[in-house]
Chain A
Amino acid sequence: MLSEMFYKLWDNGLIQLGIWETIYMTLISSAIAYVIGLPLGVILNVTDDGGIHPVKWLNRILGFIVNFFRSIPFIILMVAMLPVARLIVGTALGNKAVIVMLIIAAAPYVGRMVESSLKEVDAGVIEAAQSMGSNNFQIVFKVLLPEAKPSLITGAVISMVTILSYSAMAATIGGTGLGQIAIIYGHQRSNDDITWICVLLMVVIVQVIQEVGTRIAHKTDKRIRL
C-alpha cells in the first residue's frame, strides 16, 4: 500500500530522524526566542503609556522593530537574513542556520505575545502592589509575570506551534526535518503517501504540544479551582 520509498526511508531511520529534527529545532528555537522575547515583551508592556514606567521613545522604537520583522513572510526573511546566520553560526546552510532564522522570526512574535499576556493583568492589582511600596522590578517579578502565568503558557503553546510550522520551510536553506522530507521525498518525487505521513506526524506533534500546554496552563491557574 505504501510506496517503496517510504520503506526505504523508514528502514534507514530517516523519517524517525525527521521527527526528532523537527521537535528539537522547534524546542531550541522556542527556548531561545523566549530568552529574547520574554524581556522584550516585558519592556514593551512596562514602557507603554499605561505601563508602570512609560518611556515613549523606547516603546516606539522597539514596537517598530517588532512590527518590521513580523511583517516579513518567513520564507523571505529566511533568504534575506542569510548573512546574519553566517555571522552568528558561521554558516548560511543547514539546521544551525534554520534555527537562527526561526529565532529571528519568532522572538518579535513572542514579544508581542508576552506583551498582550501582561496587559491582561488587572490594573487594580498593580496599583495595590504600588500602594504597598513595591518597586518596578518587584512588580514585574512578583506581580506581572506570576499573575500572567497561565496566559503566558497558553501564549507559549501558540508560539511553539507557529515555530513548528515555520520549521517546515527549512528545506529552502538546506535544513532538514519533516518539512524537508515532505518536500524532497514526497512532493518532488511524487510519493503522495510520504507527504501525507509527514503531515500526519506534524499534526500529532502539534496536538501533543497543545494538549500538554493547555493542561499545564489549567493546572497552574488558581482562578479556576473552585
Chain B
Amino acid sequence: MIELKHLSKTYRTQEKEIVALEDINLTINDGEIFGIIGLSGAGKSTLVRCINLLEEPTDGQVIIDGKSVTELSRKELLKLRQSIGMIFQGFNLLAQRSVLNNVCYPLEIAGVGRKEAKARAMELLHMVGLADRANSYPSQLSGGQKQRVAIARALATSPKYLLCDEATSALDPNTTRSILELLREINNSLGVTIVVITHEMKVIDQICDRVAVIDHSRIAEEGKVSEVFTNPRSQIARDLIIPRERTVLDTTGGRRLRLTFEGDYSNAPVISEMVLECQAPVNILFADTKEFEGVIHGQMIIELPKDQHQADKIIVWLRNSQVKWREED
C-alpha cells in the first residue's frame, strides 16, 4: 500500500517559489491500477516522483508498506527503489546496450549473477513478446517495442509496484491500446500494483480501477473511475471527460446540459422520446459511452433551443424523467 499524507512540494528559485504539489492525500491499495490524471503542469509528474523519492517532498509523508520513505537512509532508499519499477514517456532505454542488456541492468544493480540475470531477462522479454529482439539495440525498435522493453526492464526485479509516467503519451492510439492491455495483464497475472500518470481520459477508462484528478497542484477529486466518469464533481474532471473546446466549438449560444446515463438507461432512446414529446429540437454537441465493470455509462452534452418556451419544456421533461443532468456553464 502506498500512502501519501499531506504531501507538498515547492521549488525555490532565486526569484520566486513555485508550488508543484499542495497537501496531497492519497491511498493506493495493493493490486489496483490507480490513475492520476491532470493537465500539463498540474503536478502529476512531480507527484509520481515523490513516491520513489526521485523528487524530495518539501513536506508531508510517503508511506510504502507502512514504512515512511522520507526517513530511510540512502542505502535503504536505493534498496526500496529496486522494488518499485518505473516507466517513462521517453522510454529512457540505454542506447548503447542491447535489449537483453537493458533488461539485465536492474538485475546487475541488484547484484544478481550474470547467468541468472540473462535467464530472467529472457523470461521477461518472452512475456512482453520481444524475445526475438534480445540482441537488437533500442535504435532498431519502434516506440511501442521500446516501451515493452522498458516494461520488461521495470519488472526485472519483480517489483511490487510499477509507476507509469505518461507511458503511452508518445505512442499512436493502436500502440497505446496494446501497451495498456499489457499493463492490465501484468496487473492481473503478477498482481503488481500500478500507478498510471496521464493527461488522457481514455487511458484512465481503459485500465484504471480508481482515479485521482489533479489540478493546480491539488487533488480536485478522487474515486472509482465509473463514479468520476458518470458524476464528475469538479470542473477539471468534466473538462477532462469532455474537452472544453469541443463543446464550445459547435455551440450556437443556447443553454447547454450534460446528461449522464447509467446501466439500462444507456440503451433507452431517451433523446428521441424527449424531442418527440416536447416537440422541440435539441443540438447534440457531444456523446460518448463507456463500459466500466460490465455496466455501460453514457455522457451527452445537448444544447437547448434558443426559444425560452421550448427550452423550459425540455427542462421540465428532464426533471420528470430519470435522467441525471446538470447545466453546464
Contact = CB atoms under 8 A, between A and B. Distances in A.
Interface of A: 122, 124-125, 127-135, 138, 142-143, 146-147, 149-150, 220-226
Interface string B91-130: 0111111100000011011100000000000000000000
Contacts of B92: 122, 124-125, 127-128
Nearest to A145: B96
A154 B92 CA distance: 23
Nearest to A125: B92
A17 B108 CA distance: 49
A6 to B, nearest CB: 48
Contacts of A220: 96
B54 A127 contact: yes
Contacts of B108: 142
10 contacts: A124-B90, A125-B93, A131-B163, A132-B106, A132-B109, A132-B154, A132-B157, A133-B82, A134-B78, A222-B95
Interface of B: 52, 54, 78-82, 84-86, 88, 90, 92-98, 105-106, 108-110, 137-140, 150, 153-154, 157, 163
B170 to A, nearest CB: 11
Nearest to A132: B106
A139 to B, nearest CB: 10
Contact of B139 (A125, A142, A222): A222
Q: Tell me the dominant secondary structure on chain B's binding face.
A: mixed
A46 to B, nearest CB: 16
Contacts of A130: 54, 81
A223 B94 contact: no
A138 B78 CA distance: 12
Nearest to A124: B92
B95 A223 contact: yes
Given A133-B106, A133-B109, A222 B96 contact: yes
B105 A146 contact: no
Nearest to A221: B96
Nearest to B86: A131
Contacts of B88: 124, 127-128
Given A127-B54, A130-B81, A146 B94 contact: yes
Nearest to B81: A133
Nearest to A225: B137
> 10 nearest interchain CB pairs?
A133-B81, A128-B92, A131-B86, A133-B82, A124-B92, A222-B137, A132-B106, A133-B78, A124-B90, A223-B139
Contact of B84 (A131, A134, A143, A226): A131
Given A130-B81, A133-B78, 8 more contacts: A131-B52, A132-B157, A134-B78, A138-B109, A223-B96, A224-B139, A225-B137, A226-B139
Contacts of A131: 52, 54, 81, 84-86, 163
